[in-house]
Structure 1
Amino acid sequence: MIPTFIRAYPAGAAVAGYRIVMFSDAASSNTITQADSNTASSLGVSDAMGSELDGMCDVHRDGLVHVELGGTVAAGDPLTSDGEGKAIAAIAATATTIRIVGFADEPGVTGDVIDAFLSPALLHEA
């Protein structure tokens, strides 16, 4: 077992397992929901169980974790969120900033659950 930092957060909506999550209203609470874009303030990945609306969701904030893919990735690709909190390869366009949650530790295609190393960062293209 590879240890990770896990914290429970209240879920403001149903959260599926192995999804990238974000704060739903960072100015007012620490409630989370699935990330909805590559610019969302992603903070980690939900555990296998996810959560129901108003439940508590365990979120991996650091370490090697499982994440569900929403597209094809290669090992080492930086990962960001699609519109459903699934991980996709982060590719910055000119004059954009993308939030990444970490890096793929293995290749995969849509629907696969792969290992990813969590390392939140920004990807900027001038």
Structure 2
Amino acid sequence: MNIPGLITARQSSTTVIARRLIINGASDGLAGQATDGSALIIGVSTDVDAAPGDTFDVIRSGLAPVTYGGDVALGDRLTADADGKAVTAAAGDYFIGYAEVTGAADEIGSVWIAPGQLPAAGA
């Protein structure tokens, strides 16, 4: 499902692949592809790839199509794997939101964007 809300433009600090999870870059206006759940995930890239230095769009709210990196169940909190794909979040991870559909690795799923962070293990 694709019902995006706010979409903002950012300058890419890394190579960004379509429908991947995005984090802030090192300075204002920059953003890059997430590589894990250790940093705040701010949105999902649209269906256009970007090279470093390119301007690209980030879906910041609503429902967004996203590439899954593994098996995902409806309602799972989603974080990034090493390739910026959405996978189930673990303790301590930042997450982008909740899976709207069940899916498997490399399928295009849907995420309801509602960012947060899971408590650390034992917290």
> What is the TM-score when the length of structure 1 is the normalising length?
0.90
Structure-2 residue corresponding to 1:20: 21
1:1-126 to 2 correspondence within 5 Å? Answer: 2-25=3-26, 28-92=27-91, 97-124=92-119, 125=121, 126=123
CA distance in 2 between counterparts of 1:80 and 1:31 reads 20
Letter of the 1:102 counterpart: G
Letter of the 2:109 counterpart: I
CA contact (8 A) 1:73 1:89 kept: yes
% identical aligned pairs: 32
CA distance in 2 between counterparts of 1:51 and 1:57 reads 6
The Cα of 1:24 is off from its aligned counterpart by 2.3
CA distance in 2 between counterparts of 1:80 and 1:19 reads 10
CA distance in 1 between counterparts of 2:29 and 2:12 reads 9
CA distance in 2 between counterparts of 1:14 and 1:67 reads 16
Question: Unpaired runs of 5+ in structure 1?
Answer: none
CA distance in 1 between counterparts of 2:64 and 2:93 reads 21
How many residues align? The count is: 120
CA contact (8 A) 1:14 1:52 kept: yes
Q: Deviations over 1:56-98 (max 9, x none)?
A: 1100000000000111110000000111110000121xxxx21
Question: Unpaired runs of 5+ in structure 2?
Answer: none
CA distance in 1 between counterparts of 2:105 and 2:29 reads 30
The Cα of 1:53 is off from its aligned counterpart by 1.7
